[in-house]
Amino acid sequence: MPVGWNDTNIVLIPKVKSPSVLKELRPSSLCNVVYKIISKVLANRLKSILPEIILDTQSAFVPGRLITDNVLIAYEATHFLQNKRNGKDGYAAIKLDMSKAYDRVEWPFLLHMLRRLGFDEKWNRLIMNCVTTVNYKIKVNGDYTEVIKPDRGLRQGDPLSPYLFVICAEAFSAAIQAAEGSKRLCGLRICRGAPILTHLFFADDSLLLLKATESVANEMKQIILDYERSSGQIVNRDKSVVMFSSNMDEEEKKVFSHTLGINCIAHNDRYLGLPVFIGRSKAKTFEYLKEKIWRCIQGWKEKFLSKAGKEILIKAVAQAIPTYAMSCFYLTKSLCDELTSMILRFWWAQHDNDKKIHWLGKDKIMKPKSQGGLAFRDLHSFNIAMLARQGWRLIQNPDSLCSRLLKAKYFPNCNVLDAQSRKQMSYSWRSILKGIQLLRKGVIWRVGNGEHINIWSDPWLPRDMRFVTTRRGASLITRVCELIDPTTGQWDIELIQQIFNENDAKIITRIPLREGQEDFIAWQPDTKGIFSVKSAYKLHEKILNELQGQIGEGGWGVVARDTDGCPLMMAAGNLQNLHNANQAEALACIQALKLANDMGMGHIIVETDAQALKAALLDETQDRSVNAVIIREAKFLLAMNFNVHQVMYCPRECNRAAHELAKIGASLGPRSQFVWLEGFPDVVCNLVASDSAGLPA
């Protein structure tokens, strides 16, 4: 390395507002530009092979892996610990704090790891030349110190450093895996068929997941000591914490933590900046997001900002603060509205004590600029789009550690798009299901050989709305491959015209076929079929606008089921001259009550996915709203015709059959309706089965 190319200036960046001791300052290395070019070239070559040599328990700086993978796995593990109340075996999650991790890396250890991983000696010399020829100068009070020549450590600011640290940490990972393979350590398996978890790494953040016995603690302690001695790393046991499963008594916890030398037992700790335990109050759990945004806004209020300046700060900072949490967890609509209100108050106010008159409504200000808005982000829609991305990653990366874990626990016998609600779900998976609901609206199967596509239930027809097909007559054919002529490899046009209606048949025969291709899932809203948060956000906004825009006309759908969930009757009808969506819900309820009375039902449970309708039917106070006369009729029908009745709210994901029938009703002629007592639509039958399986206990 030529003289001067690897000289580095270190500046001290405060971690707190008014630092008073050295540990409150963060050193940042300012490398020479010429050196950074060299380092970046080497880093780009190195990172391309990291997925092949780094275990999948390490998520940092490895292409194709995200920090959210670790968060989701860690949350499933802690959810398991929290809910494990029976059994003799206890388990523990240990969060290790590495003290000055980058600064303590021993150079001989780094060279040893490069050789053990099979790198060529010429490459090793290039890397070690970059690491060992550094000269430091520290900037203190505007002046530089004398040259400092280090003999260990990696620079924070060098493009190579993150990848080299991951290589060093692989020694710790391999030691844990070897001990687990020889049965000296016992990891955690959250369910049958799930991979065994022993550790999760994100750079220098380490989470160990172990069986909580004294022998395991002793073995883990020895592995940590060996790693410290070899690599130069030091575990800060005062800042490290341990969490235990609920079935362990205090004495067992004390023995395990004392053996490791970690005495701090965590209950409401965080991992990678996100909470590991989420209770009933989601607003309380995510209160820190409001505090962060509030602190930002208070700092900005001290400055005289133009509207353009405010717009940039809101979009680049304030609305970006909750993004990380939104990628893993569902933030309630009320919390998103609170965050948005804080931001809009800042937008409209000139000074802190202003009355903050909002000259435009929230819905208008969030429209694109081409439509007269300011393109502020709708946090609720963005949250759903971010969670949909997690569902897409599960589809695209089925072999990742996160995908294998979630599949084993929540959808072992189906694909992620068919996953349903179930008992004792973690909040992270409950959140991802919100995103999967949006994902179902936009995914489409591209036909290859047709072996994996169900004709009647899978979305595969390339058109703007409703990707599934409509059956015409009875048919035993279920797979798309059965519609392909095996001799020519092209569509069997005669068979298709017999089974499908004219419009569907035309669309099917236009789908191109090529031999030797596999079926695959694509994202319909994107021209290239690739999922993006931006396109998912637009799709969610479009769906909301369509729901709000259905004032004037719409449809209703009713499904009558017995106590086992089997359908007795289905009905759909068209609605005209609607005032609002609540009116449509109330009219649908009246139709359901009339049909139930016609069928002679005496005991009924009315299930609706409209909270407002449930509240209105149970409200005994005087109602003078625009829908009052309709609500009164519904109450009258309930009281006069049914000996026992109950009104319940069920989420949309448990009421999809009625929603699908409402779509059918909306497509009928004005004021038309259709009732099925048998020969129910196949698509709706499948949804009835799914809804029954997904009903909350």
The CA–CA distances, whole Å, from 559 to 102, 207, 596, 659 equal 62, 48, 10, 10
* pLDDT tens digit sequence for 575-591: 887 767 788 888 999 99
In this prediction, residue 93 carries a pLDDT of 92
Q: Is residue 542 part of a domain?
A: no
Domain final residue pick, 518, 536, 563: 518
Q: Are residues 290 and 269 in the same domain?
A: no
Task: Let me know if 502 is exposed, middle or buried by CB neighbors in 10 A (0-12, 13-18, 19+).
Answer: exposed
Q: Are residues 186 and 265 in the same domain?
A: yes
In this prediction, residue 184 carries a pLDDT of 93
In this prediction, residue 529 carries a pLDDT of 87
What sign has the CA pseudo-torsion 486, 490, 495, 501? positive
In this prediction, residue 375 carries a pLDDT of 84
Q: Is residue 303 part of a domain?
A: yes
- The total number of structural domains in the chain stands at 4
In this prediction, residue 697 carries a pLDDT of 32
Q: Are residues 287 and 269 in the same domain?
A: no
In this prediction, residue 228 carries a pLDDT of 94
Which phi and psi (to 5°) does residue 201 adopt? -120, 140
Q: Are residues 345 and 476 in the same domain?
A: no
Q: Are residues 79 and 198 in the same domain?
A: yes
Q: Are residues 313 and 254 in the same domain?
A: no
- The four Cα atoms 681, 682, 686, 689 give a dihedral, to 10 degrees, of 60
In this prediction, residue 696 carries a pLDDT of 39
Q: Is residue 40 part of a domain?
A: yes
Q: Are residues 337 and 456 in the same domain?
A: no
Domain final residue pick, 502, 518, 534: 518
Which residue ranges in the chain fall short of pLDDT 70? Answer: 265-268, 301-303, 350-357, 464-475, 546-552, 579, 623-626, 691-697
Q: Is residue 590 part of a domain?
A: yes
Q: Are residues 302 and 215 in the same domain?
A: no
Q: Is residue 404 part of a domain?
A: no
In this prediction, residue 464 carries a pLDDT of 65
Q: Are residues 250 and 307 in the same domain?
A: no
Q: Residue 350's domain spans which residues?
A: 283-377
Q: Is residue 441 part of a domain?
A: no
Q: Are residues 120 and 64 in the same domain?
A: yes
* pLDDT tens digit sequence for 377-410: 899 999 999 999 999 999 999 999 999 999 999 9
Domain final residue pick, 274, 297, 331: 274
* pLDDT tens digit sequence for 9-31: 988 888 888 888 887 888 888 88
Q: Is residue 536 part of a domain?
A: no
Classify residue 465 as left (phi > 0), alpha (psi -120 to 50) or beta: beta
Q: Are residues 52 and 178 in the same domain?
A: yes
* pLDDT tens digit sequence for 443-478: 999 998 899 998 888 889 887 655 666 666 566 788
In this prediction, residue 392 carries a pLDDT of 95
Q: Are residues 265 and 292 in the same domain?
A: no
Q: Is residue 338 part of a domain?
A: yes
In this prediction, residue 168 carries a pLDDT of 95
Q: What is the CATH number of the domain that holds 675?
A: 3.30.420.10
In this prediction, residue 695 carries a pLDDT of 44
Classify residue 72 as left (phi > 0), alpha (psi -120 to 50) or beta: alpha
